[in-house]
Amino acid sequence: MLDIDWNMIFQSRQLLLTGMWLTLQVTVVAILAGLGFGVVLAAMSVVRVPLLNWLAKMYVSLFRSIPLVMLLLWFFLIVPQVLKAVLNISPSVDIRLISAMVAFSLLEAAFFCEIIRAGIQSLPAGQFNAAKALGMNWAQSMRLIILPQAFRKMLPITLTQCIVIFQDTSLVYVIALGDFFSRAKSVGERDGTLIQMLLFAGLTYWVICSVATILVKLVQKKSEI
């Protein structure tokens, strides 16, 4: 670590910060879109409609079985072509970022679905019966009674999954997207300090994830009170 040229890193700070901003964009979109779609899939998986149960199960099974790198490459090749054809976007427009966000969002929806489903099913049956006794329909009971309690139970593991998403965003380098890892690598190759820059990138990810992990533990302790 003492061999890292911190002056060179400081001089390249704008490039690295741009990469970190892209990493955070992909992370935030994947979390928000994945959570939103994951709630829908989880609701489909617990409602007493066999067809919806089957559709949710097939979706989760499909996306959890595909390696993320392969999924990114598929969407890198497919999504830009579809969007350009449907929206009549010029071929010169770079929409790799959108394709990466779509791939991450759809993948994370499958993982969040399982987390949310487990949270819902961990609640005692009395909660469902109580909502029914109050005259609530299924949608109202899920929105007002079940999901708020389920989210509290699954908050620590949800936050942990968010950390995993942040780490996984480094895989966008396979579609030549300039995230933090890619920028650090390019700076190292440019200045002949590749090993040092990879060490710096690893240190940065470790610091961010360690701080986030501490916050998750604090949230978990608070939720247990």
- Ordered by start, the domain boundaries in the chain are 24-176
Sign of the C-alpha dihedral computed for residues 78, 83, 85 and 86 taken in this order: positive
Of residues 91 and 67, which shows the higher confidence score? 67
Asked if 99 and 82 count as a contact pair (C-beta separation under 8 A), the reply is: no
End-to-end CA, the chain: 41
Of residues 195 and 127, which shows the higher confidence score? 195
Confidence at 1, pLDDT banded by 50, 70, 90: very low
Q: Over the stretch 209-221, which tens digit does the pLDDT of each residue have?
A: 999 989 888 877 7
**Predicted local confidence at residue 124, as pLDDT:** 78
**Predicted local confidence at residue 144, as pLDDT:** 81
Q: Over the stretch 165-191, which tens digit does the pLDDT of each residue have?
A: 999 999 998 888 888 999 998 888 888
Q: Whole-angstrom Cα distance, residue 204 to residue 188?
A: 15
Instruction: Given CATH 1.10.3720.10, say whether it is the number of domain 24-176.
Output: yes
Q: What phi and psi, each to the nearest 5 degrees, are found at residue 134?
A: -80, 0
**Predicted local confidence at residue 92, as pLDDT:** 61
Q: Over the stretch 140-156, which tens digit does the pLDDT of each residue have?
A: 788 888 888 888 888 88
Confidence at 23, pLDDT banded by 50, 70, 90: very high
Q: Whole-angstrom Cα distance, residue 113 to residue 57?
A: 10
Short-list 36, 55, 37, CA closest to 45: 55
Question: Side chain identity at 110, as an amino acid letter?
Answer: A
